[in-house]
Amino acid sequence: MPEQITRRETLRFGLTATSLLALATDLPLPALAEGEADVPFTDIPAEFSLADLRAMRSTEVAAGYECSGNSGRSMQGLSSCGRFSGVRLSTVLKQLGVRPKAREVVFFGSDRGPQDVVFRQQTFKLEQQFGRSVTLENAMKPEPLLAYALNGEPLTREQGFPLRLIMPGWYGVANVKWLAEVHLQEERYLGNYQARWYRTLRGVGGTGDTTDPQTQWVENEITRMQVKSVIARVRKVGGAHQIFGFALNDGTPLKSVEVQIDNGSWQKAAFDSSNTGYSWKLFTYRWEDAKPGEHTLVSRATDVNGTVQPPAAELTRKKTFLEDNAQFPRKVMI
């Protein structure tokens, strides 16, 4: 229960032969009575409490992210933005020390469940933790955060209490909640939520038909967010209409967000001055002289590298529904 975890507030970081960090999963022991004291074990590494983490130099990041299954053409609401507080993952790894052979950093959550792992003609029925990984190079960048607060308040249970990983610019699945263990290892990590459930299958070359031998089918794991924008609200303001929306991506600076009305020319929208590198990028467009009747509005984002948010027709070669960043036409009645 959350109150039991709060009472103990134990975070254990231990460096073993396999460079393992672990968040202690405490048993629901009774609180200490007056005159009682726990005797420390000597067969486990030294521990850091959450208070110790909070005593380290903290940092904040405004991070907007979405579930990789959040369809661009229906916007199911699987998206959020908030200001997370915590300690840089790189700071903790540097303090513990990283062995030279370490290449992969694996994050395991406390949540677990039964899974069928198929290997050729065999199916193994396992009890498996939720897990995701990043390369050591990505883990040591300044952005990844071991977060304990959101918008100035401690994380709730639903938000990942007591500690979660924040990977700014990455899809939601990489932002592991209820962080329990962090493994450093040399080999690539393969797990259900990385190698099997969360991947994109895309055709390259040829006709894109599944039977075309000239088309190469490439499978990639879900990692960084694709550039995307959505119109969220249209509001009448005086004699005009204001179109509001937001864009999000992997943190690459955006060059522009444009708005198109009824298949007309693309018009540049204005960015909000409060936008930051990994937050939602809020935008507005003033729509003058809107005629009565139904209209179709759509937005598209472009980053500084020239990557343009595609129309739906350009995603037909992507066979899995994840990473749907297609332009999302909206209809309004004036």
- Residue 259: name the closest of 280, 238, 233 by CA: 233
Indicate whether 13 and 98 sit together in one domain. yes
220 domain residue, yes or no: no
Answer yes or no: is pLDDT of 103 > 50.
yes
Residues 95 and 240 in one domain: no
Q: What is the pLDDT of residues 155-186, one digit of tens each?
A: 999 999 999 999 999 999 999 999 998 999 99
The answer on 259 and 185 residing in a single domain is no
Mean pLDDT of all residues belonging to the chain: 87
Give the residue ranges of DSSP H helices in the chain.
2-8, 50-55, 89-96, 136-139
Q: Based on the fold, state whether residues 259 and 170 are members of the same structural domain.
A: no
**What confidence tens digit (pLDDT) does each residue in 73-95 have?**
556 678 899 999 999 999 999 98
* DSSP string across 203-229: EESS---TT-TTPEEEEEE--BPPPEE
Residues 250 and 257: their CA atoms lie apart, in Å, by 15
| Number of folded domains that form the chain | 2
Domain hosting residue 192, numbered range: 2-196
Instruction: Provide the residue type at 84 as one letter.
Output: F
Q: Are residues 180 and 284 in the same domain?
A: no
| CA dihedral sign of residues 109, 110, 112, 117 | positive
Q: Report d(CA 307, CA 297) in Å as an integer.
A: 21
Q: Are residues 8 and 49 in the same domain?
A: yes
Top mean pLDDT of 186-190, 197-201, 236-240, 255-259 is at: 255-259
Q: In terms of domains, do 191 and 234 share one?
A: no
Report pLDDT for 73.
58
Q: 10 Å Cβ neighbour count for 114? A: 8
State mean pLDDT over 283-294: 96
Q: Return the CATH number at 145.
A: 3.90.420.10
20 pLDDT band (50/70/90 cuts)? very low
- 300, 308 in Cβ contact below 8 A? yes
Asked if 225 and 254 touch (Cβ cutoff 8 Å), the reply is no
Contact 58, 85 (CB under 8 A): yes
Please give the structure tokens belonging to residue 154.
């401690």
In a domain, 217, yes or no: no
Same domain, 180 and 127: yes
**Which residue would you say has higher pLDDT here, 5 or 173?**
173
pTM attached to this predicted model? 0.84
Q: How far is CA 77 from CA 67, 68, 154, 160, 199, in A?
A: 9, 12, 23, 19, 21
Whether residue 10 lies inside any domain: the answer is yes
By CB atoms closer than 10 A (0-12, 13-18, 19+), residue 326 is buried
Model confidence at 221: pLDDT above 70: yes
Please indicate, yes or no, whether residues 181 and 283 belong to a single structural domain of this protein.
Answer: no
> Locate tokens 């990639």: which residue?
220
- On whether both 165 and 29 belong to a single domain, the answer is yes
Residues 55 and 168 in one domain: yes
- Residue 25: pLDDT band by 50, 70, 90 thresholds? very low
218: in domain: no
Residue 249 sits in the same domain as residue 189? no
